[in-house]
Amino acid sequence: MLTISVRTLSCIGLLAVLVGLSAAEVWGQDPSWTQKDKETTDLPNLGSNTVDVLAAAGDSLWIGPDFLGLDCLEVINRPAPDAEDAFVFSIEARNETAERVWAGLAFDVGGGELGAGGFLVSNDGGSSFERRDPQLDASGDAEISYGGNVLEAEPITQQAGSVPQDLAFGPGSDTVWVAGRRSGLRWIDLSTPRDEQSWTRAVLPPDSSTSVDPANTNDFLVAPPLNDGRGWRNHEVFRVLVDEEGVVWAGTPEGLNRSRAGSVTATGQRAWDRFEGGGSGALLSDVVVALAEQPRPGRNPIWVAAANRPVEEGQRFGVAVTDDGGSTFRKTLIGERVTDLATRQARVYAVGREALYVTADQGNTWRTVENFPLKDEEQILPDDVTLQAVATTNTALWVGMDEGLLRLDRADESSLLGGGSEWTLFRAETPVDPGLTAEAPDVSTYAYPNPFVPSRDEFVRIAYELKGPTTVEINIYDFGMNRVRTITDQKPGRQQKEQRETVWRGTNGQGLRVPTGTYFYTVDLGGRMVKGKILVAN
């Protein structure tokens, strides 16, 4: 049986899973976990079944974006960002020992926009963290020296839109790069004294050019798209990767940018080339959504997932790979919508919303995995799960979903190519009734995620158990016990026991979103009634 240890970072939205400890060692690691946690969850304090950020380092797996709240930040004695609902948006823990870990934070600024919440940084493998400010400019940062040129720049001073979407360590982990969307691509030198460290803004090619070099004459605005029509989509950065040779790769809505280690000036300024997508371009689309380096003999391949840009002819979903540092690219998985990538020397994994893709021949052929048989026959994985992230540690393959975290032992990964594999599922199945103790013999119903945030979670699942064939009616009431919604499950159920889940999207009978508050629900199981409650937080 798999045993795991989860460091105490779970309360701040960041879990570190270490494989191979005994059960006694697992529960002896963190006295802050309660007995209830130990007996009601497989993965203590997972916090939420939404897992869409994964970062692997050796035997460690770092997980996000569990809800990051004020109470949890107080545990590590750090101030909260400018909102209570900050969460982990990106993680980097690339080196084998995972001593240096960075987590990029985001929070909801309203209107569907996310803001930069700064960083949590550890230099001791997560035993302690310090807080760092977001990668933003001062209001006077309106110029950038680039070679012999002084370029006009738009200062990016607002947290909104500048989420740290991706992080990467340079060789030796002495440099950290951040893909900060509107704040562009930036880097910081960690080898300098702490009080001298500051973010440097990289100068990428404008949309009108496929290269830029500090040795040449340049004259363009450094800025993402602005309200007045100025700025460049290629200065809005989504992804960053630094490979084994020190080459920096940056993905944007306008393609893939590459800066070779030999193109760097003594002051750190870089020359860049940009690879475009669509038609005869190197990529399937300009919009880069994932990057991964594959450890192979010789030059490590770089894998690039691209998103469709339907308004432009020839732009398609899919993956491209370069085996020679960008001299040539091959296109594969054409038409498949891939959101994350993970690699081993012999295999590459790609995650789409509904399937996991695996290749053992460098992308010439792929197997599509849509079903995930579970080792524990008592666990049930809903049919409509959404896959969101993938990672490989030394001992396992991991898939993050909106329904928890899947693990496949490395010894069983080859079975994916033949279809015979069984997964371990970790979920935060916390009972709804807060009065339930660990000694209670049964959990008759629960809802998750709970608290339920409709704008973030889309829906809440109400779980219950059928004893046999029956029609199920669920009634939802507000705090005054006024009924706001009735949901009927007409499926008859099986002859034997069956766990069932029904979805509520946080709306009343007229389809309007219910206000923030505590809601109670009853589940009529054909004469047997169970009940629970849900906290809705808009």
Q: What is the CATH number of the domain that holds 451?
A: 2.60.40.4070
- Give me the mean pLDDT over the 158-163 stretch: 94
Instruction: Tell me how far apart the alpha carbons of residues 304 and 94 are, in angstroms, rounded to a whole number.
Output: 18
Q: How far is CA 178 from CA 103, 208, 501, in A?
A: 11, 24, 40
Based on its alpha-carbon atoms, the radius of gyration of the chain, rounded to whole angstroms, reads: 24
pLDDT of residue 15: 56
Q: Which of 98-112, 176-190, 351-365, 477-491 has the lowest mean pLDDT?
A: 98-112
Name the DSSP class of 153.
B
Reported for 19-23, long-range contacts at CB under 8 A and 24+ positions apart, including other chains, are: 19/59, 19/393, 19/394, 19/395, 19/396, 20/59, 20/395
Whether 144 and 150 have beta carbons less than 8 Å apart is answered as: yes
Of the pLDDT bands very low, low, confident and very high (cuts 50, 70, 90), residue 419 is low
CB half-sphere exposure, 510, CA atoms < 13 A: 3
pLDDT, mean of residues 401-408:
87
Report the alpha-carbon distance of residue 404 to residue 374 in Å, rounded.
Answer: 13
**3 state SS of 430:** coil
The residues, ordered by sequence, that sit 6+ positions from 388 with a Cβ below 8 Å of its Cβ are: 50, 51, 52, 339, 340, 351, 353, 400, 401, 402
- Average pLDDT value over all residues in the chain: 81
pTM over 0.85: no
% of residues, the chain, pLDDT over 70: 80
Residue 282 pLDDT grade (very low, low, confident, very high; cuts 50, 70, 90): very high
**How many angstroms separate the CA atoms of 49 and 516, rounded?**
21
Cis peptide preceding 65, ω within 30 of 0: yes
Number of CB atoms found within 10 A of residue 195's CB:
6
Task: Please tell me the least confidently modeled range out of 355-359, 426-430, 529-533.
Answer: 426-430
Residue 116 has pLDDT above 90, yes or no: yes
Buried b (16+ CB within 10 A) or exposed e, 119-156: bbbbeebbeebebbebbbbeeeeeebebbeeebebbeb
Task: Flag whether 332 is in a domain.
Answer: no
Contact 43, 66 (CB under 8 A): no
Residue 460 in domain:
yes
- Per DSSP, 199 falls in state -
Euclidean distance between CA atoms 105 and 86, whole angstroms? 6
The answer to whether residue 531 sits within a structural domain is: yes
Which range (96-110, 134-148, 268-282) has the least confidence?
96-110
Q: In this predicted structure, what is the pLDDT of residue 266?
A: 85
Q: Which of 375, 350, 321, 518 is nearest to 434 (CA)?
A: 518
- Between 324 and 47, residue with greater pLDDT: 324
| pLDDT value, residue 484 | 93
Taking the C-alpha atoms of residue 383 and residue 389, their distance in angstroms, rounded to an integer, is 18
Give the mean model confidence (pLDDT) for residues 437-443: 41
Is 488 a member of any domain?
yes
The answer to the question of residue 293 being in a domain is: no
- For residue 36, which phi and psi values (nearest 5 degrees)? -60, -45
For residue 485, tell me if it sits in a domain: yes
> Average pLDDT for residues 440-460, to the nearest whole number?
72
Please give the single-letter amino acid code of residue 398. Answer: W
Tens-digit pLDDT profile for residues 336-386? 999 999 999 999 999 998 899 999 999 999 999 998 999 887 777 877 788
Q: Supply the range of the domain harboring residue 532.
A: 445-536
In a domain, 126, yes or no: no
Residue 389 maps to a domain = no
Which run of H or E residues covers position 71?
Answer: helix 70-75
- Ranking 42-46, 53-57, 196-200 by mean pLDDT, the lowest is 42-46
Closest by CA to 462, choosing from 517, 522, 537, is: 522
Give the number of domains in the chain: 2
